[in-house]
Structure 1
Amino acid sequence: MSGITVVIPTHLARVRNGMTKRAIGSVLGQTLPAESVVVEHDLTHAGAPATRDRGLQKVVTPWTAFLDSDDQLKPIHLERLMECAIETGADYVYAWYEAVGFGADPLPHFGRRFDPERPTQTTITILVRTELAQSVGFRQPPEGALINGERYGEDFQFTVECVKAGARIEHLPERTWLWNLHGANTSGDPDRGDARTR
């Protein structure tokens, strides 16, 4: 067994438009199969941090991988991240993405070794030791907050908190997943309506 659980936070619009099914399919097609998958639905507009954290707290395997419900893993994603974790002794491993729908890579950190003294955004499509992740958890950062001059969300805050907890973070400079830009993130925002076709 791989010892990995993949956590996928989602909401109704992404279930209806097929994105969640596509994300789950990409997990089921891994060369290193996940031991389990937790699909956590945001039924109360609690938002991504709360939904991701609820899913995370259900994990019982030693490792947790995260995937947003509008993105996809390439078949080798879990295998390559686990190999990197074993080879380096890392607690937290992140690869990189192919940006789908972007004019240019929005995060210019591909290939740069992670520096805990000056952390940079990694996205949340990571492999992390479950005990570490559960101790850190996810919460919404203050509006307009900056780290090293970069605006950040709950995923970057999670990374920074992992650094504070003494985690060893390694970057695998390979593009092992697809980051889809579509402008239809409605989780946590009931005023944006039911984006069934997005």
Structure 2
Amino acid sequence: MDIGVVIPTHRARIANGMTQRAIGSVWAQTLPAAELHVPVDPGGGGAWTTRDRGLQAVRAEWTAFLDSDDEFMPHHLETLARCAQETGADYVYSYYQVRNGFGHEIAADPLGHFGRVFDPADPIQTTITTLVRTELAQEAGFHAPPADARVGGQRYGEDYQFTLACVALGAQVVHVPQRTWWWNHHGRNTSGVPGQGDSAA
């Protein structure tokens, strides 16, 4: 399976080494990526526009996304690719293991989404760290969410909008009940919001 990986980043993440760490996790995959795109936000426009620029450059059949402050576990791409091949899914996502700023793993599943079968009526359970058919992903694209965007009282971002668009296009979405990537909490997470956290640096 040909997979292109997209890691949107910005100057602060390059300077502090987070982007290089994310890239290293891609090169360490048991299933090698065919392409790697690392678009840089030149001026605080936000992850959604940078991510979409990277996505539109992918030529591989599949696209995987990774935030520049997170990391794939070595089996991430292989696990998601196997699920896509076995189920015929168009969009596959696994789950994360949280690590704090000291590199310690933390048990976390506050919303109870781990292992839950995907519900197209509640796509908030997914994250951006997905494997998606490139043609589908490029048609769905990434767009800035409204400033007042809320689901269940919580603000949502471009990942939620992207999933909604994929579902509207008829995507078969499958959840792999495994933790295959690290969500690094470091006090400077941007959550896709321009000007927030280290994106303002």
Q: Residue in 2 aligned with 1:62?
A: 61
Per-residue CA distance 1:147-181 (angstroms, 9 max, x = gap): 46553111011111111111000000000000011
Residue 44 of structure 2 aligns to a residue whose secondary structure is: coil
The one-letter code matched in structure 2 to 1:138 is: F
Where do 1:16-165 residues align within 5 Å? 16-101=15-100, 104-147=108-151, 150-165=154-169
Of 66-75 and 112-121, deviating more is 112-121
The one-letter code matched in structure 2 to 1:154 is: E
Aligned counterparts of 2:58 and 2:9: Cα–Cα separation in 1: 16
1:190 Cα deviation (Å)?
A: 8.3
Distance 1:192 1:149, change over 3 A: closer
Q: How large is the Cα RMSD of the aligned pairs? A: 2.0
User: Is the 8 Å Cα contact of residues 137 and 158 (structure 1) preserved in structure 2?
Assistant: yes
Distance 1:8 1:182, change over 3 A: same
Distance 1:40 1:119, change over 3 A: same
1:13 Cα deviation (Å)?
A: 0.5
Distance 1:191 1:5, change over 3 A: closer
The one-letter code matched in structure 1 to 2:27 is: L
Residue among 181, 195, 198 paired with 1:189: 195
Of 27-36 and 113-122, deviating more is 113-122
Distance 1:143 1:24, change over 3 A: same
1:192 Cα deviation (Å)?
A: 6.6
User: Is the 8 Å Cα contact of residues 118 and 148 (structure 1) preserved in structure 2?
Assistant: no
User: Is the 8 Å Cα contact of residues 99 and 105 (structure 1) preserved in structure 2?
Assistant: no
The one-letter code matched in structure 2 to 1:16 is: A
Identity of aligned residues (%): 60
Aligned counterparts of 1:11 and 1:114: Cα–Cα separation in 2: 32
User: Is the 8 Å Cα contact of residues 41 and 51 (structure 1) preserved in structure 2?
Assistant: yes
Residue 120 of structure 1 aligns to a residue whose secondary structure is: helix
Aligned counterparts of 1:87 and 1:11: Cα–Cα separation in 2: 36
User: Is the 8 Å Cα contact of residues 92 and 128 (structure 1) preserved in structure 2?
Assistant: yes
| Alignment coverage as a number of residue pairs | 194
Per-residue CA distance 1:7-66 (angstroms, 9 max, x = gap): 000000000000000000000000000001000100121101000000000000110000
Distance 1:114 1:19, change over 3 A: same
1:145 Cα deviation (Å)?
A: 1.5
Residue 175 of structure 2 aligns to a residue whose secondary structure is: strand
Structure 1: segments with no counterpart, 5+ residues: none
Q: Residue in 1 aligned with 2:103?
A: none
User: Is the 8 Å Cα contact of residues 45 and 190 (structure 1) preserved in structure 2?
Assistant: no
The one-letter code matched in structure 2 to 1:108 is: G
User: Is the 8 Å Cα contact of residues 96 and 173 (structure 1) preserved in structure 2?
Assistant: yes
User: Is the 8 Å Cα contact of residues 92 and 168 (structure 1) preserved in structure 2?
Assistant: yes
